[in-house]
Amino acid sequence: MASMPDAMDETAAAAERFDTLQKRGTAFLGTRHAILGGAMSWVSERHLVSAISNAGGFGVIACGAMPPALLEKEIEATKVLTDKPFGVNLITMHPQLDELIQVCVRQKASHVVFAGGIPSAAHIKAAKAAGALVIAFAPALVLAKRLIKSGADGLVIEGSEAGGHIGPVSLTVLAQEILPNITEVPVFVAGGIGRGEALLAYLEMGASGVQLGTLFAATTESIAHDNFKTAFIRAAARDAVPSVQLDERFPVIPVRGLVNEGTRRFMRHQAEVVEKFQSGALDKTAAQLEIEHFWAGALRRAVIEGDVESGSVMAGQSVGMVTAVQPAAEVIAALRAQAIAALVARGTRG
């Protein structure tokens, strides 16, 4: 058994090794930890964003459907709560994307994150006008290369284990496809990450850091309703499932969330709409709209109002590792401690 001084030396060496592994990510973000907060609508606002940044991570405002004036107020309010770096997440399908970009330029946002689609080279260039670094989501290697050519300064690869809107490929596969082949820019990984050992493993694979959403949604600083956080604590990984498409003629964008009465009603609703279409009561366009509108306002009902039965409780599969409501700083500290402990244990075994 190692003596106490030896154990302290081993821990210090492991901490130094860990910081070296995440150095590219921390330098890019301007933070102590290469940990981004996932941009979650209704959740990733000033309080959680500033808490993550103040704890040494990188908070990201979720613009979502905000109009430009509201985003400007949110950025200004976040600056009051933290003097640390934070980013702004913009949805590429937003009808006022150009105006939102100009808000980020005026506010001198240090990082702009494009999500929900592939941003154009023109939008990337516009976001960088005041010196911002642009981060984009890359769902495949070919798109990662295209984004870099378009001017993206960093990438996020998000696996299907994540909460909210998801792609079809797991992070373990995406990481193997993309990390060995993309070295020009920092790449952050997301989806199903709940412990420091996983953070360490992806850093060693070549990632520059990680993005976490689910763990931060249930923190003290999150404005999510207590019912929402309690649902996270009670849930197992298998409870976070993608929305199901009943009929291929009526596409459903997959969204991962906790199974509840709302998800069961959605299945019944799809069946009823398909029946109406087949009977001629609805044409195809009207039927598709009825399916798409089912979840309108459902995320807000769950997050803000606490209706976790009929609302949309978006969560990633890491929800099974949420065991308590705790400050964001404790979440980050635990991830770091777990990663360093794993390095120490590896040295001891060796």
Domain map (residue ranges) of the chain: 4-225+319-349, 236-314
In the chain, the percentage of residues whose pLDDT exceeds 90 is 95
Give the per-residue pLDDT at 133.
98
pLDDT at 340 over 80: yes
* Fold adopted by 4-225+319-349: TIM Barrel (3.20.20)
Give the per-residue pLDDT at 320.
97
Give the per-residue pLDDT at 8.
77
Report, as an integer, the average pLDDT of 275-279. Answer: 96
Report, as an integer, the average pLDDT of 225-235. Answer: 98
The Cα 19–Cα 27 span in angstroms is 11
- How is residue 314 annotated by DSSP? B
Structure tokens at 321: 């590792």
CA atoms within 13 A on the CB side of 283: 1
Q: Encode pLDDT of 120-172 as tens digits.
A: 999 999 999 989 999 999 999 999 999 999 999 999 999 999 999 999 999 99
The Cα 330–Cα 339 span in angstroms is 14
Write the CA distances from 155 to 14, 91, 138, 276, integer angstroms.
27, 15, 6, 43
Contact 139, 169 (CB under 8 A): yes
pLDDT at 295 over 80: yes
Give the per-residue pLDDT at 86.
98
Write the CA distances from 199 to 202, 210, 291, integer angstroms.
5, 7, 38
Give the per-residue pLDDT at 350.
47
The Cα 40–Cα 63 span in angstroms is 9
The Cα 113–Cα 237 span in angstroms is 27
The band of 2, judged by pLDDT with boundaries at 50, 70 and 90, is low
pLDDT at 5 over 70: no
Give the per-residue pLDDT at 347.
76
